């Protein structure tokens, strides 16, 4: 396992990977902020850095870096659906529940979305409230708003 920090336009991102893929992209707490941005040796971290550079510069809409997120089968089904969401689109929790075949699982989808360990690449920021409001983002609403503006969803 290797950990590093990526300096992004929305703050430092704590990124981790193992030999199978990325295991996390998190908005770090103060103690983690002290990690230095480094040149990672892990090929999945190198790929994530390259793709995040392209994404934040507006030149990438789909990520290809392998992922190795740890979660329950239900969480993984939600994260898999999130990964299918196209750049520049949004959905609500109920739509994700419908797509995974469990119409009554909107709240559980919200909890799985909240536990998404690979922010941005698994685009939980593209999930909004049924009424169109920006709700429920562990990286703080201002980051969600920034990402959605970056993707042309919000003006």
Which residues lie closer than 8 Å to 85 by C-beta, 6 or more apart? 91, 123, 126
Tell me, letter by letter, the H, E, C secondary structure of 37-88: ECCCCCHHHHHHHHHHHHHHCCCCCCCCCCECCCCCHHHHHHHHHHHCCCCC
Q: Is 124 a catalytic residue?
A: yes
Say if CB 6 and CB 39 are below 8 A apart.
Answer: no
Of 91, 124, 127, 128, catalytic: 124
Q: Which of 42, 59, 40 is nearest to 51 (CA)?
A: 59
What are the catalytic residues? 124
């Amino acid at each position: 396992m290797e950990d590093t920090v990526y300096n992004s336009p929305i703050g430092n991102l704590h990124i981790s990977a193992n030999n199978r893929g990325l295991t996390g992209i998190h908005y770090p707490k103060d103690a983690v902020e002290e990690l230095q941005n480094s040149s990672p040796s892990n090929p999945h971290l190198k790929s994530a850095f390259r793709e995040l550079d392209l994404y934040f510069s507006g030149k990438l809409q789909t990520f290809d870096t392998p992922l190795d997120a740890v979660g329950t089968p239900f969480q993984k089904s939600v994260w898999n659906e999130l990964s299918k969401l196209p750049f520049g689109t949004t959905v609500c929790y109920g739509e994700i529940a419908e797509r995974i075949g469990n119409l009554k699982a909107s709240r559980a989808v919200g909890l799985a979305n909240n536990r998404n360990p690979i922010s941005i690449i698994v685009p939980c920021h593209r999930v909004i409230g049924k009424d169109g409001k920006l709700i429920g983002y562990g990286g703080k609403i201002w980051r969600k708003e920034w990402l959605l503006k970056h993707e042309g969803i919000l003006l």
